[in-house]
Amino acid sequence: MSAGLLVAVVLAQPGLCGPVKPESTPDASVAAPYAEVAEAEQAAGNREIALVAWREVLRWEPDNARARAAVKALCRESSSSGGPRGEAEVPGEEEAVEALQEGLARFERGEDVEAAAAFHEALAAPELADTASFFLGLIALREGRGREAGAFFEAAAASEDEALARRAEELRLRAVKQGRVALQVWVGGEYDSNVDLTPDGTLRREGSADAVGTVLAELRLRPWGQRGGYARFSGHYRGHQQRWAFDLAGVGGALGWAHVGTARRLSAEYGFDLLSLGGLPYLRAHRLQVEGGVSVGPVVLEASWALRREDFLRVDFSGYSGWRNTVRLEAEWSPVEAVTVSAGWLGGYLRANDVALGHVEHGPRAGLRVRLRPGLHLLGEAGYTLRDYEAFDEPLGTKRKDGYLDASAALEWDVAPNWSFQATVGWRGASSNVPELSYGRLAGGLALVWAGGLL
């Protein structure tokens, strides 16, 4: 992008400080070269060209806080010399704009304490209060102060900037569910067309449909917010209307460490689970997991690796005991503000006590998340897994090769503060070179969820 190409635009624009009409399809990659020109021209003192370039950034990336602050600052500078904006300078506003710009720069570097001080100073200017409140909410949310974050987002949601207001309202609904000590309770029911499956998803018996009720509670402790150590404890019960032998109950916990930055995140944790099936001990599992993510332009790249030691406590399932490795790679991209699409790959290896049950599996995944409005989301996911068993299975007379096609959809609706409603449906189509092991499974249900920050 050349500054010379903007000269004609400068001469053609009658109101450089008026509202900016965003493109119907925002694209941060288009905005990026304009931002480079804007910064260079502003540093060189070419204010009108810089102003036009910053307006182009906002046209293609309406949520760019740095561009909004720069436009406001340039318009104020121009107003004092008879430029594009002809209103009187408000005492203290110039200092507030500088404070906002400093806060944005420090926020991007992860200097939250200094950024918060600068944003508090920017609150003195009424027309900057919405942007400053939004970023103060992000800092409070990152530090685990959910209630305080909700108050800042509520203030930002009253902004005349529609894009900022929408994002703030979405985060306000999320903030009330979080805190340094947070609790979630999930109660639901579903229909499952195939209850009787082995631990690796192999069909044991046709015609095992049943109605299922589930209760789950999880307590999360994050004393240092999203940066530092954390703990998680959970318990659940899954009861069947007819097939009581498949009632599943369990408790679990995890200890970990996480660091969430502006463009990067990393976490590592140890987890433990203990399950019973039909009232009898079923599974004891230890797990180590590492996750990471980084933003590369408009794309978010994520990866995780998990190692799980599984010990099945029932004799008929003891052959499945062993070590399970899982690797996940994923990329996310939002073509428009309300839509996020993802694509990835999932792979795993089970080294089982019974060598005929050990297997390698892998396959692609794709996902879609649509925000219909703040607090109402539609989610979809699909994937295919190809599984190769390692050894010849004597009872079956062959070495198994299976394939699993999975698809699911969910609707999540925040019906009130702390309360949400969920509707889900899922399908699995299993194929195998052993025909009697092929099957289809349909599951769908409704749930009510309460989530809130206790501290």
- Tell me the per-residue pLDDT of 208-263, one tens digit each, with 9 for 90 and over: 789 999 999 999 999 988 889 999 999 999 999 998 988 999 999 999 999 987 77
- 256 - beta bridge partners? 230, 269
Q: What is the pTM of this model?
A: 0.74
pLDDT tens figures, 299-335: 999 999 999 999 999 998 899 999 999 999 999 999 9
Is pLDDT above 90 for 419? yes
CA 406 – CA 443 distance, rounded (Å):
11
Q: Does domain 3-175 have CATH number 1.10.3720?
A: no
Q: What is the pLDDT of residue 395?
A: 83
Angle in degrees, CA 313, 317, 323, rounded to 5: 80
Least confident stretch, 140-144, 346-350, 369-373? 140-144
Is pLDDT above 60 for 1? no
Q: Are 156 and 134 in contact (CB under 8 A)?
A: yes
Q: Which candidate, 262, 258, 223, 229, places its Cα nearest to that of 111?
A: 262
CA 19 – CA 128 distance, rounded (Å):
15
- 192 - beta bridge partners? 210, 443
Q: Are 98 and 252 in contact (CB under 8 A)?
A: no
Give the CA distances from residue 273 to residues 69, 205, 283, 402, in Å, rounded to whole numbers and listed in that order: 49, 27, 8, 28
Mean pLDDT throughout 415-419?
A: 90
pLDDT tens figures, 147-171: 889 889 988 888 888 888 888 888 8
Give the CA distances from residue 425 to residues 121, 131, 340, 409, 410, in Å, rounded to whole numbers and listed in that order: 49, 39, 20, 6, 7
Mean pLDDT throughout 374-386?
A: 95
Residue with tokens 């009330």: 176
CA 110 – CA 341 distance, rounded (Å):
27
Mean pLDDT, all residues of the chain: 86
Question: CB burial class (10 A; 0-12, 13-18, 19+) of residue 419?
Answer: middle
Amino acid identity of residue 142, one-letter, is R
Q: What is the pLDDT of residue 218?
A: 97
Shared fold status for 3-175 and 181-453: no
pLDDT tens figures, 292-307: 999 888 899 999 999 9
Q: What is the pLDDT of residue 145?
A: 87
User: What band does 90 get if pLDDT is binned at 50, 70 and 90?
Assistant: very low
Query: Domain 181-453 sits in which CATH superfamily?
Result: monomeric porin ompg (2.40.160.40)
CB atoms within 10 A of CB 126: 10
Least confident stretch, 47-61, 290-304, 385-399? 47-61
Is pLDDT above 60 for 416? yes
Residue-range domain boundaries for the chain: 3-175, 181-453
Q: How far is residue 30 CA from its own chain's centroid? A: 24
CA 371 – CA 392 distance, rounded (Å):
48
Buried b (16+ CB within 10 A) or exposed e, 278-316: eeeebbebebebebebeeeebebebebebebebebbeee
Q: Which tokens belong to 194?
A: 């195939």
- 348 - beta bridge partners? 326, 361
Q: Length of the chain in residues, anyone?
A: 455
Angle in degrees, CA 70, 75, 81, rounded to 5: 135
